[in-house]
């Protein structure tokens, strides 16, 4: 029988072999590059936490000085009961350590009651700050961020947000300074102690309004995602913050 390159048998065979080869190559690449990628991500997380308390450093720097500022790492459950604080160096295998909580995995579990809620207690220039990490839903995928609260557990000292796949130039703008710099000085509770959270407001927040910031033009769904994320996450922390 003459070999037929365009016959069904060969076509199927070719496709099968190709898929197996490609899958192997990609798996090997993914596994062998993972340690490097993970290192970058860990360093970036530290950098973002430090940024919210006003320490702007490079990623490499962040891993070195993280321990100087972040003193205690606590995990809360849904009823805001705190775990024993972790201090000192981070053991990457310690599941009880707040820093090792994979926020993206948290995002995947739909049940808010089952999630873990980390808090980082930081110190800078003798002042104490609590940094709260959060994840939420943007337009295309997860968004996440960190909010640092001043010692009164009410006033925002700094915030940093990031995203996975928001639209560049629109929703993706939440990771720019222009957006994040609006947060410092905003308050979570009103004068009577009622929890209000911070709203990302389409059309702009009124001058002097303590519970809102300007939304991003063309990024309405991402902006609403930030509002939602702040409100839902911080609500869980409310009993802890009121203590």
Partner 1 sequence: MSEQVTVKEAVEVKVEKKEALFSKKNKRLLADPMDDSNPITVQVLGVCSALAITVQVEQAIVMSLSVIAVLAIGNVLVSLLRHAIPARIRIIVQLVIVATLVILVDQILQAFAYDVSKKLSVFVGLIITNCIIMGRLEAFAMANKPWQALLDGLGNGAAYGMILVVVAVFREFFGSGKLFGVQLVPDAFYEAGYMNNNMMILPPMALIVVGLIIWFQRGRNTKLIEDH
Which span sits near partner 1 by CB under 8 A: 4-12, 100-108, 192-200, 218-226? Answer: 4-12
Query: Would you count residue 65 as binding partner 1 (CB under 8 A)?
Result: no
Query: Would you count residue 88 as binding partner 1 (CB under 8 A)?
Result: no
Half-sphere exposure of 160 (CA within 13 A, CB side): 16
Query: Would you count residue 231 as binding partner 1 (CB under 8 A)?
Result: no
Single residue of 5, 108, 110, 111 touching partner 1 by CB under 8 A: 5
Query: Would you count residue 172 as binding partner 1 (CB under 8 A)?
Result: yes
Query: Would you count residue 20 as binding partner 1 (CB under 8 A)?
Result: no
Q: Write down the least CB distance from residue 103 to partner 1, Å.
A: 17
Pick the closer one to partner 1 by CB: 6 or 125: 6
Site for partner 1 in 42-61 (CB under 8 A): 44, 59
**Which helix (H) or strand (E) segment is 61 a member of?**
helix 59-69
Antiparallel, parallel or unpaired: β 199-201 and 212-214: parallel
Write the DSSP string, 27-70. HHHHHHHHHHHHHHHHHHHHHHHHHHTT----HHHHHHHHHHHE
Q: Are 124 and 54 in contact (CB under 8 A)?
A: yes
Query: Would you count residue 229 as binding partner 1 (CB under 8 A)?
Result: no
Q: Are 121 and 98 in contact (CB under 8 A)?
A: no
Residues 103 and 116: their CA atoms lie apart, in Å, by 9
Query: Would you count residue 36 as binding partner 1 (CB under 8 A)?
Result: yes
The sign of the torsion formed by the CA atoms of 159, 182, 197, 163 equals: negative
Binding site for partner 1 (CB under 8 A): 5-6, 10-11, 14-15, 18-19, 22, 25-26, 29-30, 33, 36-37, 40, 44, 59, 165, 168-169, 172
């Amino acid at each position: 029988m003459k070999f037929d390159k365009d016959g069904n048998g060969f076509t199927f065979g070719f496709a099968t072999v190709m898929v197996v080869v490609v899958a192997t190559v990609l798996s090997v690449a993914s596994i062998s590059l993972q340690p490097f990628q993970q290192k970058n991500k860990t360093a970036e997380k530290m950098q973002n936490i430090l940024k919210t308390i006003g320490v702007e450093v490079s990623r490499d720097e962040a891993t070195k000085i993280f321990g100087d500022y972040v003193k205690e790492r606590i995990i809360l459950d849904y009823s805001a009961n705190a775990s024993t604080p972790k201090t000192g160096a981070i053991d990457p295998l310690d599941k009880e350590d707040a820093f090792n909580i994979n926020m993206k995995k948290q995002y995947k579990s739909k049940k808010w009651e089952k999630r873990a809620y980390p808090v980082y207690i930081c110190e800078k220039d003798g002042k104490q700050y609590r940094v709260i990490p959060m994840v939420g839903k943007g337009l295309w995928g997860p968004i996440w961020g960190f909010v640092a609260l001043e010692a009164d557990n009410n006033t925002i000292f700094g915030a940093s947000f990031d995203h996975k796949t928001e639209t560049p130039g629109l929703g993706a703008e939440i990771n720019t300074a222009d957006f994040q710099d609006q947060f410092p000085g905003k308050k979570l509770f009103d004068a009577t102690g009622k929890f209000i959270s911070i709203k990302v407001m389409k059309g702009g927040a009124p001058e002097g309004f303590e519970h809102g910031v300007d939304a991003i033009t063309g990024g309405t769904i991402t902006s609403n995602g930030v509002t939602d994320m702040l409100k839902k996450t911080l609500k869980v922390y409310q009993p802890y913050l009121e203590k």
